[in-house]
Amino acid sequence: MGYKIEYSDDKVSAWGGFSVMKNFNDKLGLKTILHCLPIPESTSNNRYETQDIVESFLLSVWLGCYKFSHTHVLRLDDTLKQIFGWKQIPSDTTYKRFFQKFNQGINNEVFPVLQEWFFNQLKFDNYSLDLDSTVITRYGDLQEGNLKGYNPTKKGRASHHPLFAFLGNERMVVNSWLRSGNTSSAHHFTEFLEETLSILKNKSVGLLRADSGFASDTIFKLLEKKEINYVISGKMHAPLQDKIKQIKT
């Protein structure tokens, strides 16, 4: 039995499955919310639509790109352009210029609103909120806020000290702030918590959890004032052990 081999003009792509992500974006209304946000736009006559830049950048992340230079893989696949309805796909330099337009003021106007819009579409409540900080070692002096502080893995090396808020059960990042390397874990905790609760404003906190870096009287009083149940670990140093021994009830 013979097989007949024929050639076709149909385009073939390894990323055809991303039509599901296209439908997901459309169902969420991603481009609609992006159009309403004060995102900086180019004044060039040959500019890309802001919504297309953001959507294509998100796609590059989903494809596994973790450097701007990796995003060129999108430009090599015409099928992706057809799936998402793009006339052209931005280059890595276009992405760089786009994100360089963002400053702290624009970040504060755009990202909390975007996060609130996203989490408002998810059905959950009485959630566990986990707060944590980490240290990111930096090399070179070009990054803003790249300062020396607590760095357990590279002592004396400059770093950043970002702060994160997670949904414990859903395993999703709600909020994050990039801070200078010389800050403590609890630095700007009040402002960060207020913004995080604003993002999740239609939902209630069942339990807040954090490590010993957030063990301070100021934080305890704030959480109790807001009537938020919390579990925060503390370092078992000698004075604290003595206090515990004195408790008779």
The full set of domain ranges for the chain reads 16-100, 123-246
**Alpha carbon distance 246, 44 (integer Å):** 71
Tens place of pLDDT per residue across the chain (249 aa)? 678 888 877 777 777 788 898 999 899 899 999 999 999 887 777 788 899 999 999 999 988 898 999 998 888 888 888 889 888 889 999 999 999 999 889 998 999 999 999 999 888 899 999 999 888 888 776 677 677 877 777 787 888 888 999 998 888 999 999 888 788 888 889 999 999 999 999 899 999 999 988 988 999 999 999 999 999 998 888 988 898 899 888
The pair phi, psi for residue 188, each rounded to 5°, is 60, 30
Structure tokens at 162: 């970002």
**Alpha carbon distance 22, 80 (integer Å):** 10
Structure tokens at 243: 């206090």
Q: What is the model's pLDDT at position 77? A: 82
Helix residue spans in 66-103 (DSSP H): 72-75, 78-84, 92-100
Q: In the CATH hierarchy, which top-level class contains the domain 123-246?
A: alpha beta
Q: What is the model's pLDDT at position 148? A: 80
**Alpha carbon distance 249, 8 (integer Å):** 82
Q: Show the beta-strand stretches assigned E in the chain.
A: 127-133, 136-137, 147-148, 158-160, 163-167, 172-177, 205-210, 230-232
Minimal CA–CA distance to 176: which of 199, 153, 156, 158? 199
The whole-model pTM stands at: 0.79
Q: How many CB atoms are located within 10 Å of the residue 82 CB?
A: 12
Q: What is the model's pLDDT at position 145? A: 65
